[in-house]
């Protein structure tokens, strides 16, 4: 089933349609169709902007904007969990003390 691909420009027989084959419920199929509709609308919006001959600026991608905002503002949602404290300590606090010990020993007692 995984390797089957229909010929180009042909349609799948109904029995090999994934919704039928895996016996998905009607609710799931309806949700799937809705999502396909939304995707088509978004693609249409993008294509309209892409092919607009009067457009001079970039097309704004809200997903990119949200991703960039999330990448640049992590501290607003920071929570001190065990993992974050461990990471912070391991990379921010412990190296300073280790380096102090190493450098001081090297300079004072070894040389």
The DSSP call for residue 7 is P
Using rule CB under 8 A, residue 54 touches other proteins: no
Q: Structure tokens of 51?
A: 């092919």
Using rule CB under 8 A, residue 49 touches other proteins: yes
Using rule CB under 8 A, residue 64 touches other proteins: yes
- C-beta of 66: minimal distance to other proteins in Å? 12
Nearer to other proteins, 67 or 78 (CB): 67
- Integer Cα distance of 66 and 73 in angstroms: 10
Q: What is the CA radius of gyration of the chain?
A: 28
- Which one among 16, 55, 66, 84 touches other proteins, defined by CB under 8 A? 55
């Amino acid at each position: 089933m995984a390797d089957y691909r229909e010929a180009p420009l042909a349609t799948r027989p109904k029995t090999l349609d994934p919704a039928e084959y895996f016996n998905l419920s009607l609710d799931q199929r309806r949700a799937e169709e809705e999502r396909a509709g939304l995707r088509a609308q978004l693609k249409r919006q993008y294509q309209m902007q892409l092919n607009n001959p009067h457009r001079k600026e970039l097309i704004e991608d809200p997903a990119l904007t949200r991703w960039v905002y999330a990448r640049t503002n992590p501290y607003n949602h920071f929570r001190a969990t065990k993992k974050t404290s461990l990471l912070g300590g391991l990379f921010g606090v412990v190296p300073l003390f280790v380096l102090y010990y190493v450098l001081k020993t090297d300079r004072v007692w070894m040389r």
